[in-house]
A and B are shown apart, each in its own frame.
Chain A
């Protein structure tokens, strides 16, 4: 079912039409097969790049499409409904571009962004480490400054697009000073061409989103030029958190899209499956479940769009983004689980997509801050500064 969207401009409608066309022909048809083969669809991202979708919320002068978050996120939602690994992949790419776009110097923006936003490059975002997940400020990967630039040592864990990305947005420690000792770097994959120092772990064997590689990124004396630093030294954690505010909305949009896909599958199945002489959709026990699913999806969509509009208006939106991520991803877990229930035994087997949706949903409650961390963010905003 195509979602009826209220969009701010006619061009946004054209954009969504283009996206649906691409999903129908290039994305959705191969999702199931590539997921079970654990095959990363790099060409799909190339196609998205050629269509101009890799830099939607960034300025046109740097190769972006100058779309508000309200529109960009609905593109993510539709893509995630077609294939989560692609919707989430685009969200992670867009997140990875944020530090250079928002904190880079004019020179960095002019030299880097056109290729990142409009040149078909794919990005990755390196914050988490094996021993530092929710407590991101405890990261230990270090970048040591010397006369020629920086030398990076350490291991990043769980990196989406690890090993397949063209650039890595890296948070590394430049001083022991806790969160204030972290700095942000732009690391082209080609940085290792000269002196080595960049390698990747085997992709993790995951519960879902198997086509999207998640791997360790290992730095072993990697040399970076001085201008690889994005923003000031010590500003990295603030940049990382600002990037995640936007990224969380991307995850919320992914959750709504994935839930919508599961819901659509459940509704269409319930309208055809007959038991006890009637369609199962005519049993109140089933239709009430569907009614709850529809309501929860609509509420989650409204929540992330409200946060997006706050961002587009230049208002603070971090707390709302955390609420949207929390609500939408918990909703998605419930809706995808219920979708399996609606299909009964057929929901539990690979002949129908809903078991995959349920497996995929789980990761959304974990990435870009677990849902406990979202509550922490919301709770801290409520508590205000410590007296």
Chain B
């Protein structure tokens, strides 16, 4: 089975993240780049599927040169090879643009199964799996906490508010995973060494036959009009217990829809 995992480099959530004032895109120099957390689960699931069914795992990343660190991490975990879509023309692409660029690349490199995280920690639109599946004309099986492949059919458990749905489809397909699906492995020291020798193919927009009018800041349908720093956290509400503390605390939780 030819599995492609889409992996995004995101700024470390433990550091302060900023947008650039000039073009209102992410300031990638301001923070360390790490693998989007859910994408580690996606890589893990792809590796488990490969271990069970054979085949090959390819990592696909769209991002600047620096994103090669992220590729290396996924290769160290055990992926076989990588494709790095990197081109200045892609800078500032919105979700529609990104899904178009990734879809063009996927058509070019071929796949039986595409695995994504269900959401990134920086932009968090959570729409990429759906958009990709539409653009590729294949079934989408999203928010999976369990994936089973049987020959050419695939079944997942989709996590919902009330439990889970069983969703089945025929390959090729796009799957997105949630963190309950597995426990990602650590790369081993040998894996880290081996990753340096694994092939990483760099593609530009021309190689992937991407129409530049549909990507980048200019090609994006959405536009960041303005942004502001998050307001400092306000002081919490103090509930003074005058015999009715429990009721007040419960009312507060109810007002926030926690209970």
Contact = CB atoms under 8 A, between A and B. Distances in A.
B190 interface: yes
A227 interface: no
Contacts of B193: 11, 14
B125 interface: no
B183 to A, nearest CB: 11
Interface in B170-199: 185-193
Contact of B186 (A15, A47, A65): A47
A261 interface: no
Interface stretch (A49-57, A181-189, A241-249): A49-57
B106 to A, nearest CB: 30
Contact of B190 (A21, A22, A47, A65): A65
A51 B192 CA distance: 10
A21 B190 CA distance: 16
- Size bracket, chain A contacts: 10 to 19
Contacts of B188: 50-52
B189 A22 contact: no
A51 B190 CA distance: 8
Interface string A1-36: 000000000010011001001100000000000000
B237 to A, nearest CB: 27
A18 B190 contact: no
From A14, A53, A65, residue with most partner B Cβ within 10 Å:
A14
Interface in A25-81: 47, 50-53, 65
A22 B192 contact: no
A22 B185 CA distance: 11
B192 A15 contact: yes
A14 B190 CA distance: 11
Contacts of B189: 14-15, 18, 51-53, 65
Interface string A193-213: 000000000000000000000
A50 B192 contact: no
A18 B186 CA distance: 8
Nearest to B188: A52
Interface string A83-110: 0000000000000000000000000000
A45 B187 CA distance: 15
A53 B187 CA distance: 12
A72 to B, nearest CB: 11
B190 A11 contact: no
A15 B190 CA distance: 10
A51 B186 CA distance: 7
Interface of B: 185-193
Interface of A: 11, 14-15, 18, 21-22, 47, 50-53, 65
Given A18-B189, A50-B188, A65-B190, 19 more contacts: A11-B193, A14-B189, A14-B192, A14-B193, A15-B189, A15-B192, A18-B186, A18-B192, A22-B186, A47-B186, A50-B185, A50-B186, A51-B187, A51-B188, A52-B188, A52-B189, A52-B190, A52-B191, A65-B189
16 contacts: A11-B192, A11-B193, A14-B189, A14-B192, A14-B193, A15-B192, A18-B186, A18-B187, A18-B192, A50-B185, A50-B188, A51-B186, A51-B189, A52-B189, A52-B190, A65-B190
